[in-house]
Amino acid sequence: MAETRLIYGFHAITAKLRHAAADVQEIIVAEGRQDGRMRDLLTLAEGLGVRVTLSDNARLDAMAGTVGRNTTHQGVVARVAAQARHMTLDDVLENLHEPALLLVLDSITDPHNLGACLRVADAAGAHAVIAPKDKACGLNATVIKVASGAADTVPYIVVTNLARSLREMQEREIWVIGAAGQASRDIYAIEQKGPIAWVLGAEGSGMRRLTRETCDELARIPMHGSVESLNVSVSAGLCLFESRRQRG
C-alpha cells in the first residue's frame, strides 16, 4: 500500500482538494456536523469523487493527536498520499519568469511558526521556502493546518546542508540577505529588485553562525518600540513584502 499521511482542518483539506485532489484518498468527518463549512467541503469532495467516511470525535482526536476539548481538527481529517518526490531548487528556478524571491528558514522548530511562514510566503508571492533537514520541524499536519492551504501552493524544499545550499544560490546570482538585529543597514536601505533569498532564524537565537557568515549581507528590521525582536513569520512578511514593494 502506498505511503500516506494525515492532514486536518477545513483550510488544509479544501486546499488539497482544489490543488491535488488525486492525492486525497479519504476524508473522515465528525458524525452529526452539518454546518455550512462542512456542507461546502462535502459538496466539493463529492464532486471530485473523493470517499467520505463518518466517525466520532474520539477517533478524530486520536488521528490528529488531540485530546479532550481541543478540537484543532475542526471535525475533519483527511488521509492523503505522501509526497513521492521532493522538489529541488533547480525545479523552482527553471520555471521562473521573474527574479527569484526565496525564503530560507534556519532552525525553525515550532510547527506553528513554519506554517505561518508558509502562509506569509504565499501572500508575498515567494517562489519557495527552503529549510534544513535537521534543526527544523518539517512539514507535519500542524504546519499544514496553520499554513491554511499555502503548504500546497508554495514549494517547501528540504536540504541536507543549508550553508552549501546558500552558496549554490549565490552561484546562480541570487543575493542572500540575512535578517539580523545587529546589522548596520536596515531592510529598506538594500536594493532588492534582483534575485533575492531572505534568510531568517528563530526568534531570539537567530541564524546559526555558519548560516550568518555565508550570507552576502545582513539587514535589520527597524524596531521603534520596547520589544527587541519579532516572531519569525512577522519578520518574514516584512522582508518579503519590502522586496515586492521595490519591484513595483
Listed residue (23, 64, 21) closest to 46, CA to CA:
21
Residue 203 CB: number of other CB atoms within 10 A? 17
Q: What share of the chain is helix, strand, coil (3-state, %, to 5)?
A: 40, 20, 40
Cβ(133)–Cβ(105) below 8 Å: no
Cβ(128)–Cβ(154) below 8 Å: yes
* 201 annotated ligand-binding residue: yes
Paired residues of 186 in beta bridges: 220
| Residue entry with cell 531592510 | 187
Determine the Cα–Cα distance for residues 233 and 231; give it in Å rounded to an integer.
6
* 115 annotated ligand-binding residue: no
* 102 annotated ligand-binding residue: no
Known binding positions for S-adenosyl-L-methionine? 201, 221, 230
Known binding positions? 201, 221, 230
